[in-house]
Amino acid sequence: MRIFGIDPGSARTGYGCVETDGRRHRIVVCGAIASPALASFPEKLLQIHRCLAELLAECRPDSVAIENLFHANNVRSALKLGHARGVAMLAAVEMGLPVVEYTPAEIKRAVVGYGRAEKHQVQQMVKLMLGLPAVPSPHDAADALAVAICHVHSQTFHRIAAAADAPREKATSWRTYRPVRS
């Protein structure tokens, strides 16, 4: 399964694609889309959309996970972040990919085990989980990989929960008993 994670931002949008078998994760690609400082806001959004569309076509993921807007310092930055999220979602939807959203606390909990973990803790866990020699750079790329890993862990949890809820045949004797394998 391939998951493409996105950490949206108007100045820099992080991306990362992870391939997994459910137990081991492998990085496919990661990086950040940086817009020129002097570009107009619509031009920045267009660049984010175009680059993500190209990356999604190249990586061919099964789904896209994106960080959800949780809070922002002010209304203006929240609106800009919302626009960046919108064009990122549009790129994924145009490719026919399912899009899921996770809050920063959900991502931190899935990757570190603590919803209020600090950024460097998340980056270190991403490095360890993917077996990388160094923390992915820039930090936006590490954050996007964390979003993808969060989705992998969420999917794994849902599969385990579904297997636990699946009806089992009742054993009538020890000879007919078969253990459930997960």
Q: What phi and psi, each to the nearest 5 degrees, are found at residue 19?
A: -110, 135
Q: At what angle do helices 139-165 and 104-111 cross, to 10 degrees?
A: 80
Q: What type of residue is 119? A: K
CA 133, 56, 70: angle at the middle one, nearest 5? 75
Please state, in angstroms and rounded to a whole number, the distance separating the CA atoms of residues 97 and 19.
16
Token pair listed for 168: 């089992």
Q: At what angle do helices 139-165 and 119-130 cross, to 10 degrees?
A: 70
Token pair listed for 101: 């959203």
Catalytic residue positions, numbered: 7, 67, 140
DSSP string, 3-23: EEEEE--SSEEEEEEEEESSS
Residue 180 contacts by C-beta under 8 Å, 6 or more apart in sequence? 163, 168
